[in-house]
Amino acid sequence: MKKITLILSIVMIIPLFWSCATRQEKMEKRLTSFIKDYEARIIPLYKNSALTSWNANITGTDADLQLSEKASFKLEKEYTDVKAFNELKAIRDSKAVADPVLSRELELVYNMYLGGQVDTALISERLKMETEINKKYLNFRASINGKEASDNQVEGILKTSLSGKDLKTAWEAHKQIGPVVAGDIVKLVKQRNLIAQKLGFNNYHEMSLKLSGQDPAEVTAIFDELDNLTRDAFAGLKKDIDNFYAKRYNIKPEELQPWHYQNRYFQEAPEIYTVDFDKYYKSQDPAKLAAAYYDGLGLNVDAILANSDLYEKPGKNQHAFSTDIDREGDVRTLDNITPSSQWMGTILHELGHGVYSYYNDRSLPFTLRTEAHTFTTESIAEMFGRFATDPAWMQSMNIIDEKEAATIADNAHKALRLQMLVFSRWAQVMYRFEKEMYSNPDQDLNQVWWNLVEKYQMLRKPEGRNMPDWATKIHVALYPCYYHNYLLGEVLASQLYSYIVTNVTKNPAFTGDKAVGIYLKEKVFMPGSRYYWNDMIEKATGEKLTAKYYAKQFVN
């Protein structure tokens, strides 16, 4: 009896396996062929888009800007292809793709096409709304005592004035943009939500995160963890900050108002602990220092610098960025380097992005030859960028001697710590506000904003204030659902740094230690987007992303 059952079940199982294998083979073949066609179309469009954008940023001419706009439009248009999307969807729905590299590619390419599957009428309506709102921001000038003032002028007053009356006037003047755009933003938020709902998401916030490969619950959990770990330390520092300002303005700490914090949103820390870093860089060449430093880690950047544009030019973009033109080694950075600590930090930062791209694994397919997530490349850039004001690093690069390093070490660390904690609390407000706004745009957003500001930044809402102050931050309207990545980048930077100085090198500045380069290449750069970002982090550090190390570095 037993024997018969066994034979029967074997007979029944074998064809089942056989049909599974062929189904899997069939679907993987279908996907492989899709990807072959996809790469043939996308790679030239991608390169052209990257290259024309680079040129436009260098020259700033209308002709180059138009070329760039056209190229990026063509690239984006590929992802609106319904036939291609349906083919991908059929393959994905079959759940038959088992090969790990193929199924990862499927997931990433599917998300890109899914984002493109929206009625073009809805998209163009959204773009129109965004353009209109952008115009309002661009044309807005705060009015101070009947005189127009730019954002820089407002920031200037907030930073330097000692008069409570002038500070209040400047702060309130800047907030005048709120009521001008708030209604439009709520309409735009609803339009974005409509687009997201058509694609099967609850709202635009959820869609943005999910399509970029982030699970909102996972991100919120990290923000909660970070809040728990930083709250007490921040409350303590906030007392120091308040005492500092109370003295500065000659008032009582409990009389401090949001306009007393030297910038529009309290997103930067006050300069309580001052070190004049610029004086050390006056006679230095930041590009040369950075090149020597990365070379010492075994991450030579000569090929990147040879293709880059490092110094100021008329018409050129005044900021800095890094770009991977072809995912085959043409990596570039645009900068406007001057001998200053700011540009030392920036070039270290940009070359951090650069080495991440440059040292990818060329045997991976095109789609996977990129960072695990935007915030993971941000974390590498931030980890290296922090060194510019790190006395241990400066000493290791012979910028200062041991005695000077010891003199400034305490203040340098305290200043960085303050900056990190202030920024982390501000990013909490941004992340949680956007999440709330998209989940219910009809609620009392003015109140939601101030509740968050009071809770996370521990600022006091001016008595009786009921204005759309949330709408004064342009990112809320025009760079939606992205801000949290800056903070995730900082959190991962600390986790990687802590892992490296515990397991890879004894040198706190890494200087000259090739083991660090080998580690980063093998564990972070070469895997590209082969793994879900949190799996990559776990493989690289033994733990999923956690705020523990950020807290260790900046709280204790």
Q: Which two tokens stand for residue 29?
A: 């073949």
- Dihedrals φ, ψ of 368, to 5°? -95, -5
- Residue 142, beta-bridge partner list: 149
For the four alpha carbons of 548, 551, 553 and 555, in that order, the dihedral sign comes to negative
Q: Please, what is the minimum distance in Å from the beta carbon of residue 324 to Zn ion?
A: 13
DSSP run (H or E) holding 136: helix 120-139
Asked whether the beta carbons of 476 and 452 are under 8 A apart, the reply is: no
Contact range with Zn ion by CB under 5 A, out of 35-43, 137-145, 373-381, 398-406 = 373-381
Closest to 493 measured CA to CA, from 353, 383, 373, 385: 383
Q: Which of residues 63-82 bind Zn ion (CB under 5 A)?
A: none
Q: Please, what is the minimum distance in Å from the beta carbon of residue 137 to Zn ion?
A: 23
Q: Please, what is the minimum distance in Å from the beta carbon of residue 305 to Zn ion?
A: 17
Q: Which is nearer to Zn ion, 84 or 301 (CB)?
A: 301
Q: Which is nearer to Zn ion, 332 or 432 (CB)?
A: 332
Asked whether the beta carbons of 477 and 133 are under 8 A apart, the reply is: yes
Q: Please, what is the minimum distance in Å from the beta carbon of residue 221 to Zn ion?
A: 24
Q: Which is nearer to Zn ion, 27 or 493 (CB)?
A: 493
Q: Please, what is the minimum distance in Å from the beta carbon of residue 326 to Zn ion?
A: 20
Q: Which is nearer to Zn ion, 116 or 354 (CB)?
A: 354
Q: Which is nearer to Zn ion, 181 or 381 (CB)?
A: 381
Residue with tokens 């920036």, as numbered in its chain: 346
Taking the C-alpha atoms of residue 19 and residue 57, their distance in angstroms, rounded to an integer, is 54
Return the residue nearest Zn ion (CB atom).
381
- Tell me the CA distances in angstroms from 204 to 126, 133, 212, 477, 478, one per residue in order: 12, 18, 12, 13, 13
Neighbours of 313 (CB within 10 A): 11
Taking the C-alpha atoms of residue 278 and residue 275, their distance in angstroms, rounded to an integer, is 9
Neighbours of 95 (CB within 10 A): 11
Q: Please, what is the minimum distance in Å from the beta carbon of residue 260 to Zn ion?
A: 31
Q: Please, what is the minimum distance in Å from the beta carbon of residue 353 to Zn ion?
A: 6
Contact range with Zn ion by CB under 5 A, out of 60-68, 147-155, 309-317, 377-385 = 377-385
For position 381 contacting Zn ion by CB under 5 A, the verdict is: yes
Q: Which is nearer to Zn ion, 381 or 520 (CB)?
A: 381
Closest to 51 measured CA to CA, from 324, 357, 336, 356: 324
Asked whether the beta carbons of 271 and 244 are under 8 A apart, the reply is: no
Dihedral, 419, 423, 425, 430 alpha carbons, nearest 10? 170
Q: Which is nearer to Zn ion, 359 or 449 (CB)?
A: 359
Q: Would you put residue 229 in left (φ > 0), alpha (ψ -120 to 50) or beta? A: alpha
For position 35 contacting Zn ion by CB under 5 A, the verdict is: no
Q: Please, what is the minimum distance in Å from the beta carbon of residue 511 to Zn ion?
A: 22
Taking the C-alpha atoms of residue 359 and residue 280, their distance in angstroms, rounded to an integer, is 31
Tell me the site size for Zn ion, rule CB under 5 A.
Answer: 1
Q: Please, what is the minimum distance in Å from the beta carbon of residue 381 to Zn ion?
A: 4
Q: Which two tokens stand for residue 285?
A: 């060449």
Closest to 353 measured CA to CA, from 419, 299, 288: 299
Contact range with Zn ion by CB under 5 A, out of 123-131, 185-193, 374-382, 389-397 = 374-382
Taking the C-alpha atoms of residue 33 and residue 138, their distance in angstroms, rounded to an integer, is 47
Residue with tokens 């397991």, as numbered in its chain: 503
Q: Which is nearer to Zn ion, 337 or 381 (CB)?
A: 381
Instruction: For the chain, report the end-to-end CA distance as a whole number of angstroms.
Output: 70
Q: Which is nearer to Zn ion, 381 or 427 (CB)?
A: 381
Contact range with Zn ion by CB under 5 A, out of 275-283, 287-295, 376-384, 420-428 = 376-384
Contact range with Zn ion by CB under 5 A, out of 179-187, 380-388, 474-482, 548-556 = 380-388
- Tell me the CA distances in angstroms from 163 to 159, 238, 248, 372, one per residue in order: 11, 21, 10, 48
Contact range with Zn ion by CB under 5 A, out of 110-118, 134-142, 160-168, 378-386 = 378-386
Q: Please, what is the minimum distance in Å from the beta carbon of residue 351 to Zn ion?
A: 11
For position 488 contacting Zn ion by CB under 5 A, the verdict is: no
Q: Which is nearer to Zn ion, 450 or 486 (CB)?
A: 486
Q: Please, what is the minimum distance in Å from the beta carbon of residue 146 to Zn ion?
A: 40
Q: Which is nearer to Zn ion, 381 or 536 (CB)?
A: 381
| Binding interface with Zn ion (CB under 5 A) | 381
